[in-house]
A = this chain, B = another copy of it.
Amino acid sequence: MARDAAVKTAPPASAISDATLREFTGYNMKRAFMVIQADVTRTLEPFGLRMVTYSALAIVGDNPGLSQTQLAAALAIERPNLVVIVDELEGRDLVNRDRVPTDRRTYALRLTTEGARLLARATEAVRGHEARMIKGIGKADEATLIACLNQIEASDTGRS
């Protein structure tokens, strides 16, 4: 239904040129990322996960005992916004907020057994998503793609 609407609302859509924007890496990347985002969202939906909640589980899994501040930094989101995310994951018994005896201000975040199981299953699904996305791209080109993306990421000056 949504698909029909999208098609109908763009009668001669293919006739529209985006030549000027195609010159730029950022535009091509945004269009590619939109496809990836849509597919990964569909991929995670059966697990009741969004990109950000899946990412949070993955980071906690890789770094058991980290604090919410550290997790927020790793996810590049603000700490207030992370609180509700951890609330959600804790409410579903996917992560625990363990108290730290040496510093009672902070929590040590850890996956529960169920959280680890869900992360493993979701990661398998995301691997399937990954395979769909890079289908038709050779190993060498894929390596070049990742290297270019990492190079661009590293070019960050970080100035505000």
Interface residues of A (CB under 8 A from B): 1-3, 6, 9-10, 12-13, 16-21, 23-40, 55, 58-59, 61-63, 66, 69-74, 76, 79, 123, 126-127, 129-130, 132-137, 141-142, 144-153, 155-160
Contact = CB atoms under 8 A, between A and B. Distances in A.
- Best-surrounded residue of A32, A69, A132, A141 (most CB of chain B within 10 A): A32
- Best-surrounded residue of A34, A38, A145 (most CB of chain B within 10 A): A145
A153 B33 CA distance: 8
Copy number of this protein in the oligomer?
A: 2
22 contacts: A1-B160, A6-B160, A13-B73, A13-B74, A17-B59, A18-B62, A21-B55, A21-B59, A24-B126, A25-B36, A28-B146, A28-B149, A29-B33, A30-B33, A31-B153, A32-B153, A33-B33, A133-B152, A135-B155, A137-B151, A142-B148, A145-B149
